Amino acid sequence: MKNISNTQLPLSAKVPDYDRQKLKTKIVHLGFGAFHRAHQALYTDELAKKSDSDWGICGINLFSGGPLIQSLREQDYLYTVVEKGAQATEIKVVGSVIQALHPGLDGMNTIIEKMAEPQVAIVSMTITEKGYCIDPATGTLDTGNPLVIADLATPEQPQSALGYIVQALKKRRERGLAPFTVMPCDNIQENGHVAKTAILAFARQLDETLAQWIEAHVTFPCTMVDRIVPAATPETLNEISQLLGVDDPCSIACEPFSQWVIEDNFVAGRPDWDLAGATFVTDVVPYEEMKLRMLNGSHSFLAYLGYLGGFEHIADTMTDEGYRKAALDMMLKAQAPSLNMPAGTNLESYAALLIERYSNPALKHKTWQIAMDGSQKIPQRLGGSLRYHLSQGTDFTWIATGIAGWMRYVAGVDEQNNPIEVKDPMADALRAICDQHGFNTSVVPALLGVEAIFTPDIGQNSQVIEAVSAAYQSLIEKGAKETVRALSAK
């Protein structure tokens, strides 16, 4: 089968117009999924088009994704990003990736050695919340995590991202090489601090001297990333093949909007990503909180209540006036008041832009996909704003309804009694609690009592229990659509 490396593409496609032979693997990226391909790798590609950059990427998948890596190799590491707007579609062929590895194809040691190469200056990550092996309730390394247990027992045969990074840094220190920067790009508040906490705690379990060296020499910049990138489906891949006139199993579709805010804290140099549209700042936290609460928080709200309401995609929920109004109110009445933004930030315009992005019918962003890993996401997306309202004595009905939607969803049965495939590291434990209580408000304090998700100041708060119970009861009696419609009338 012909692919994008050996065929004539449409004239409208933007292809690399720079010398890819000049690129060096100065970035190793863990988690070569859809988001990285449509975000960091694309920024790096745009930079190479606009400057004399030699920053290239080695993409690595540690678990699944072996066939993707193999396909990438077969097409000279080129792949397609299709930006689908409501009015127009743009095709971009990305050339910034010049190598790709997978432990199943190449072995663990090859990956560690790649990260230990002298020219590698940045190890970046999109490994999802659970990849950091952090206990959400305490914010510290979860030493009971099976991956952590296994990696501490056999550190030279790592499985987790933490294990690989620490082994690579160990080799660099032993060889007298400078360290690299660890740059997380996941939707986690203060993700650089989270990564640092996890990696230092892991290293201390192995070698206190190594941990001290990492703490003294490695930097962990925080980042805020924003782009809606639905998971690739056979339908999407087929649609892109029709546009290209050729198959590209590594292609991805996304929205035109993209944002990247980066703490300028790099120990071994960095690309000038600002030339490609990124923003370097001294403090990412306000931007992170804005995005986590207003975008990600409302996304979770729409994911659970939308799925239960029978909407397959986020854009579908926007065709319902109740969901559209409730989502906007969630942003402006529940989340925005809790933020402390730099002067000049217009949160009303930001919320309107989010509604516009959600409404893009060209994107098929599944509510089921966004609903994944809720136990890891809810503390980040809803916890801070909920604490704000509790301290101020203000209305948090929208947040309570979102939590109730999650509780109804993790029961694993939809409103038509069809099974829900709940993807969550705590799915079995949550389902067991739901099964014990049935569709009864007694499940609310039981789920709020799971301290790995809800800290006691939230989970044992009588106001929270009361508000979430009321929303949950409405979901049982009236269903998601009517519950959201009533909420939108507030």
Residue where a domain terminates, one of 281, 315, 345: 281
Q: Given phi > 0 = left and psi -120 to 50 = alpha, else beta, which region is 266?
A: beta
Could you give the percent of the chain with pLDDT greater than 90? 89
Q: Can you tell me the distance from the alpha carbon of 213 to that of 227, in angstroms, rounded to the nearest whole number?
A: 35
Last residue of a domain, one of 216, 248, 281: 281
CA distance 210 to 166: 9
Sign of the C-alpha dihedral computed for residues 269, 270, 275 and 281 taken in this order: negative
Predicted local confidence at residue 11, as pLDDT: 64
- Find the domain containing 346 and state its range: 285-488
**Residue 294 and residue 271 in one domain:** no
- Strand 79-84 vs strand 89-94: parallel, antiparallel, or unpaired? antiparallel
Q: Are residues 264 and 126 in the same domain?
A: yes
Q: What is the pLDDT of residues 109-168, one digit of tens each?
A: 999 999 999 999 999 999 998 999 998 778 899 999 999 999 999 999 999 999 999 999
> Listing from the earlier edge strand, what are the strands of the sheet with 122-125?
97-101, 55-60, 24-30, 122-125, 181-184
Nearest to 302 by CA among 234, 359, 244: 359
Total domains in the chain come to 2
| Among the listed residues 415, 219, 198, the one whose alpha carbon sits nearest the alpha carbon of residue 305 | 415
Of 161, 148, 141, nearest to 62 by C-alpha is 161
Question: 474 and 390 in one domain?
Answer: yes
Same domain, 91 and 230: yes
**DSSP assignment of 415-449, as one string?**
TTS-B-----TTHHHHHHHHHHH-SSTTHHHHHHT
| Arithmetic mean of pLDDT, 438-465 | 96
Q: Which of 319, 420, 324 is nearest to 372 (CA)?
A: 420
Does 357 fall in a domain? yes
Per-residue confidence (pLDDT) for residue 138, from 0 to 100 = 83
Token pair, residue 339, equals 């933020």
Task: Inform me whether the pLDDT recorded for 1 exceeds 50.
Answer: no
- pTM, two decimals, is 0.85
Q: What is the CATH number of the domain that holds 72?
A: 3.40.50.720
Strand partners, 419: 413
